[in-house]
């Protein structure tokens, strides 16, 4: 089903001179839901949900250490028990592609097509049902829901975020002003000293993007982070993505804004119902996608 045009092959050949950063090989991802989501332990925050999350986190950690093992087997057992009485969503169905250093790759598709799920799988947050994901270096996922601490000021969150990304305290303090300036949260007053709960969702998203993009990442995945910013911020962040791509590894951008994708990415993956419909140069894929959406 994947459409690989001649131009894509040429483009891929050019990128093949660069080392691969992400290889996704026949990936399948399945969500399992126990019961109807109502009643004791059945909801997202219920006991089964938490147990699965704990098992998934342990499996990801363990798999990094020993390429599979006890935690993975525990997760499989848990899934076996849950699948008896639960429902499943087969979110990613046999997706394969290779990303190379220096690429900025847009991920598009209609609602529920699997865009966020595939980024979560690349980040190691969703274990594959089958297939493999190989990554060079540490992938970082920046989502609109990424946790910042609501009770702390923006400034404190900047420091914590930098420390969490592996900077030393000196580096974090040195970067603080630049990050706040880039985010633009102080453009209308001294917001950086206010608790994050006083921020609009757009301001919080801008600060998250500013923190995450202050460091060079091997693989940076951005899920809709640009959608909430205003036009001026969107321009700044698109330029930042281009810099990150030049300086470091690979950038993935999930967005419903074809303009953001066009201005930022040179390659696009188009997913529908969990399958890869097309993988190719931005203009070509967007044209086909727009035609599909207008039907
Ligand atoms: N935690 C979850 N539990 C069960 N099913 C889920 C969960 N998260 C996503 N799904 C399902 O997996 C499929 C893919 O969802 P995903 O969020 O990856 O799509 P998306 O392309 O990012 O959607 P959108 O554009 O609406 O953000 C959908 O059918 C969705 O209902």
| ipTM (interface predicted TM) | 0.98
Q: Is 61 part of a structural domain of the chain? A: yes
Determine the distance separating the centroid of ligand 1 and the alpha carbon of 243, expressed in angstroms: 30
Q: Are 107 and 277 in contact (CB under 8 A)?
A: no
Q: Is 55 part of a structural domain of the chain? A: yes
Q: What would the two tokens of residue 126 be?
A: 């969703």
Helix/strand/coil for 92: strand
Q: How many domains does the chain have?
A: 1
Instruction: Select from 82, 112, 270 the residue to mutate for testing ligand 1; criterion: most ligand atoms less than 8 Å from CB.
Output: 112
Question: Which residue range(s) make up the domain with 64?
Answer: 30-89
Residue 167 has pLDDT above 70, yes or no: yes
Cβ neighbours of residue 35 under 8 Å, at least 6 residues apart? 42, 85, 86
CA distance 192 to 177: 10
Region 226-230: mean pLDDT is: 66
Atom from ligand 1 closest to the CA of residue 117: 18
CA distance 75 to 110: 30
Q: Is 214 part of a structural domain of the chain? A: no
- The answer, as to whether pTM is greater than 0.90, is no
Residue 135 has pLDDT above 90, yes or no: yes
Residue 41 has pLDDT above 80, yes or no: no
Instruction: Select from 31, 145, 293 the residue to mutate for testing ligand 1; criterion: most ligand atoms less than 8 Å from CB.
Output: 31
Residue ranges lining ligand 1, Cβ < 6 Å: 31, 33, 89, 91, 109, 111-117
CA distance 68 to 62: 6
Q: Are 223 and 142 in contact (CB under 8 A)?
A: yes
pLDDT given at position 38: 42
Residue 194 has pLDDT above 80, yes or no: yes
CA distance 75 to 136: 25
Q: Is 62 part of a structural domain of the chain? A: yes
Q: Is 60 part of a structural domain of the chain? A: yes
Q: Is 107 part of a structural domain of the chain? A: no
pLDDT given at position 289: 96
pLDDT given at position 227: 62
CA distance 290 to 258: 9
Determine the distance separating the centroid of ligand 1 and the alpha carbon of 54, expressed in angstroms: 20
The rounded mean pLDDT for the chain is 80
Q: Rounded to the nearest 10 degrees, how much is the dihedral formed by the CA atoms of 71, 72, 76, 78?
A: 20
DSSP E strands, the chain? 20-34, 86-100, 104-108, 130-135, 139-143, 219-223, 250-254, 267-272, 275-281
pLDDT given at position 64: 56
Q: Is 286 part of a structural domain of the chain? A: no
Region 11-29: mean pLDDT is: 81
Place 221 in a pLDDT band, splitting at 50, 70 and 90.
Answer: confident
Determine the distance separating the centroid of ligand 1 and the alpha carbon of 247, expressed in angstroms: 32
Determine the distance separating the centroid of ligand 1 and the alpha carbon of 92, expressed in angstroms: 10
pLDDT given at position 80: 61
Q: Is 80 part of a structural domain of the chain? A: yes
Question: Measured on CA atoms in the order 15, 20, 22, 25, is the torsion positive or negative?
Answer: positive
Q: Whose CA is nearest to atom 2 of ligand 1?
A: 31
Determine the distance separating the centroid of ligand 1 and the alpha carbon of 114, expressed in angstroms: 6
Region 259-263: mean pLDDT is: 86
Q: Whose CA is nearest to atom 14 of ligand 1?
A: 114
């Amino acid at each position: 089903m994947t459409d690989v045009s001649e131009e894509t092959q040429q483009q891929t050949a050019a990128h093949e001179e660069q080392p691969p950063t992400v290889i996704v090989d026949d990936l399948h991802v399945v969500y399992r839901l126990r019961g109807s989501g109502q009643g004791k332990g059945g909801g997202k925050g219920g006991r089964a949900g938490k147990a699965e999350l704990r098992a998934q986190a342990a499996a990801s950690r363990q798999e990094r250490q020993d390429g599979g093992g006890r935690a993975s087997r525990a997760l499989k057992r848990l899934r076996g028990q849950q699948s008896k009485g639960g429902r499943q969503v087969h979110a990613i169905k046999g997706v394969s592609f290779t990303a190379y250093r220096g690429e900025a790759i847009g991920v598009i598709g209609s609602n529920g097509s699997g865009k966020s799920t595939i980024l979560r799988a690349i980040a190691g947050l969703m274990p594959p049902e089958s297939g493999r994901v190989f990554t060079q270096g540490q992938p970082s996922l920046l989502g609109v829901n990424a946790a910042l601490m609501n009770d702390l000021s923006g400034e404190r969150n900047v420091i914590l975020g930098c420390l969490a990304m592996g900077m030393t305290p000196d580096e974090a303090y040195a970067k603080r002003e630049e990050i706040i300036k880039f985010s633009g949260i102080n453009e209308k007053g001294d917001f950086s000293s206010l608790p994050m709960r006083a921020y609009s969702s757009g301001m919080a998203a801008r600060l998250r993007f500013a923190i995450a993009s202050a460091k060079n990442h091997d693989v940076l995945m951005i899920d809709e982070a640009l959608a909430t910013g205003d036009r001026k911020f969107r321009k700044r962040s698109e330029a930042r993505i281009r810099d990150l791509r030049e300086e470091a590894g690979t950038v993935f951008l999930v967005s419903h804004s074809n303009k953001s994708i066009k201005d930022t990415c040179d390659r696009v993956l188009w997913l529908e119902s969990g399958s890869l419909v097309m993988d190719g140069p931005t203009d070509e894929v967007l044209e086909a996608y727009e035609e599909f959406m207008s039907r």
